Amino acid sequence: MIADPKGLYQEVILDHNRKPRNYGTLEHPSHHAEGLNPLCGDHIHVSLDLAGDKVEAIAFQGESCAICKASASMMTVAVKGKSRSDAQTLIGEFVAMATGRLDPRNGPHIGRLAVFAGISELPMRVKCAILPWHTLRAAFNAVATASTEADADPMRTPLGDA
């Protein structure tokens, strides 16, 4: 299915880095969180508007490396219009995939985000890729700040057999 994962990965990252989708802020977001990855210096804000159970609008902005920015951009596209529970399922699948615990073929919601599967082989960049998702989860849970160095750091949880 993915003939040239490295090439595709680079192409998608470059595209979203050049033209990040949903970049900016929302005027009156119902949920917001700030995300920090001290290892790389990534610092982003994720804002969303939940209308009932649906992610009506989502935006991100901040200073980050290309991988973090591309991941955030693709995340906003992936969760916009989804229900909160579907978005949370996707957060779980993405983090599991990026940390090498889930084969993207076994992640029913991963779709195009599978281009990030190779990131699990680049330990220095894993936190860059998962920071936006970590931050979105914090926003859903009304936590003001998410950090990849927090106790809930998915990199420190034991790896399963997935």
List binders of Zn ion among 112-151 (CB under 5 A). Answer: 128
Pairing of strands 31-37, 54-63: unpaired
Please say whether the beta carbons of 93 and 109 come within 8 A. Answer: yes
Q: Does 66 bind Zn ion (CB under 5 A)?
A: no
**Which range in 18-26, 34-42, 49-57, 106-114 contacts Zn ion by CB under 5 A?**
34-42
Q: Does 74 bind Zn ion (CB under 5 A)?
A: no
110 contact partners, CB below 8 Å, separation of at least 6 = 90, 93, 94, 97, 104
Number of residues that bind Zn ion (CB under 5 A): 5
Q: Does 39 bind Zn ion (CB under 5 A)?
A: no
C-alpha pair distances (Å), 99 with each of 7, 28, 52, 102: 20, 33, 31, 8
**Which range in 38-46, 75-83, 89-97, 99-107 contacts Zn ion by CB under 5 A?**
38-46
Structure tokens at 56: 């009506």
160 contact partners, CB below 8 Å, separation of at least 6 = 101
Residue from 2, 26, 65, 143 binding Zn ion (CB under 5 A): 65
CB of 64 to Zn ion, least distance (A): 6
For 142, counting Cβ atoms within 10 Å of its Cβ (0-12 exposed, 13-18 middle, 19+ buried), the class is exposed
Compute the distance between CA of residue 73 and CA of residue 80 in angstroms, rounded to an integer.
Answer: 11
Q: Does 93 bind Zn ion (CB under 5 A)?
A: no
Q: Does 42 bind Zn ion (CB under 5 A)?
A: yes
**Which range in 49-57, 59-67, 71-79, 94-102 contacts Zn ion by CB under 5 A?**
59-67
**Which range in 19-27, 68-76, 83-91, 94-102 contacts Zn ion by CB under 5 A?**
68-76
Residue from 2, 40, 143, 155 binding Zn ion (CB under 5 A): 40
Residue showing tokens 């977001």: 29
Question: Can you give the binding site for Zn ion, defined by CB under 5 A?
Answer: 40, 42, 65, 68, 128
